[in-house]
């Protein structure tokens, strides 16, 4: 499913037709957290990451247990070269936002990131993505779609990350057949694009320093 929604006005008609069969404003990603690729830790965890393309947010709901150390922070990383493997830079500016349990060996958290806010992203990530907030937003959304974004939890034993897991998108439900359903979806796609276009237009003016 193509999440590259931040398109020029000239592509509007193409968006309406391509989005109609499988219109979705929320995309859900499963995450299995282990030490694989980061550390020899035997800790485990799971997470659900929800990208809401109307609100332009990323919600991370996670639980973890058995850390060798105690928690220092959490981070979304983007984007590795290959889907499901490799490492990438941290995309978030605040690695211990409100709701994250610091100093714990096990626990859970529920964090929602505002992806329209430049303060959400690390300056290095914005610079690497192209220099503007909208570039970071595009990179994160497209990276999630491509399977090159992962969630990590760092601890006192492994500050750079004790456990992590790549985002794996849940299968979308099959669309209902029928001409009327497609017409409705096309109209909804136009309305959704218009909302996103207004949000992105507001983002294009400011930039973040490296």
| Secondary structure (DSSP) of 45-80 | EEEEEEEETTTTEEEEEEEEE--SS-EEEEEEEE--
Backbone torsions φ then ψ of 61, nearest 5 degrees: -115, 115
Task: Specify the pLDDT at position 174.
Answer: 55
Backbone torsions φ then ψ of 72, nearest 5 degrees: -110, -30
Task: Specify the pLDDT at position 182.
Answer: 38
Give mean pLDDT, residues 133-138. 97
Give the residue, 20 or 207, on which the prediction is more confident: 207
Query: In terms of C-beta density within 10 A (0-12 exposed, 13-18 middle, 19 or more buried), how is residue 205 classed?
Result: exposed
The tens digit of pLDDT for each residue in 160-195 reads 999 999 999 998 655 555 533 433 344 444 444 445
Task: Specify the pLDDT at position 209.
Answer: 42
pLDDT at 17 over 60: no
The tens digit of pLDDT for each residue in 52-83 reads 999 999 999 999 999 999 999 999 999 999 99
Question: Model-level pTM?
Answer: 0.75
Distance between CA 44 and CA 153 in Å, rounded?
Answer: 10
Q: How confident is the model at residue 202 (pLDDT cuts 50, 70, 90)?
A: low
The tens digit of pLDDT for each residue in 103-118 reads 999 999 999 999 999 9
Strand partners, 140: none
> Residue 163 belongs to what H/E stretch?
strand 163-166
pLDDT at 3 over 80: no
Distance between CA 179 and CA 200 in Å, rounded?
Answer: 31
Task: Specify the pLDDT at position 171.
Answer: 84
Give mean pLDDT, residues 2-25. 42
| Secondary structure (DSSP) of 64-132 | EE--SS-EEEEEEEE--SBTTBS---B-BS-SS-TT--TT-SSEEEEEEEETT-GGGB-HHHHHHHTSB
Give the residue, 24 or 116, on which the prediction is more confident: 116
Task: Specify the pLDDT at position 122.
Answer: 98
Angle between helices 179-203 and 12-19 (to 10 degrees): 130
Distance between CA 53 and CA 191 in Å, rounded?
Answer: 12
pLDDT at 43 over 80: yes
């Amino acid at each position: 499913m193509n999440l590259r929604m931040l398109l020029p006005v000239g592509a509007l008609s193409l968006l309406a037709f391509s989005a109609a069969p499988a219109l979705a404003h929320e995309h859900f990603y499963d995450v299995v957290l282990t030490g694989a690729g980061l550390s020899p830790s035997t800790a485990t965890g799971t997470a659900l990451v929800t990208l809401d393309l109307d609100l332009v947010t990323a919600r991370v709901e996670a639980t973890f247990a058995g850390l060798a150390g105690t928690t220092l922070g959490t981070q979304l990383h983007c984007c590795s070269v290959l889907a499901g493997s490799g490492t990438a830079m941290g995309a978030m500016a605040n690695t211990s936002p409100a709701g994250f349990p610091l100093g714990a060996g096990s626990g859970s958290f529920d964090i929602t990131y505002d992806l329209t806010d430049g303060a959400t992203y690390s300056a290095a990530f914005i610079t690497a993505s192209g220099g503007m907030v909208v570039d970071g937003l595009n990179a994160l959304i497209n990276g999630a779609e491509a399977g090159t974004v992962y969630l990590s939890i760092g601890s006192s034993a492994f500050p750079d990350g004790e456990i992590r897991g790549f985002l794996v998108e849940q299968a979308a439900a099959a669309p209902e057949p029928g001409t009327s359903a497609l017409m409705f979806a096309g109209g909804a796609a136009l309305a959704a694009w218009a909302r996103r276009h207004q949000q992105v237009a507001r983002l294009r003016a400011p930039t973040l320093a490296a």
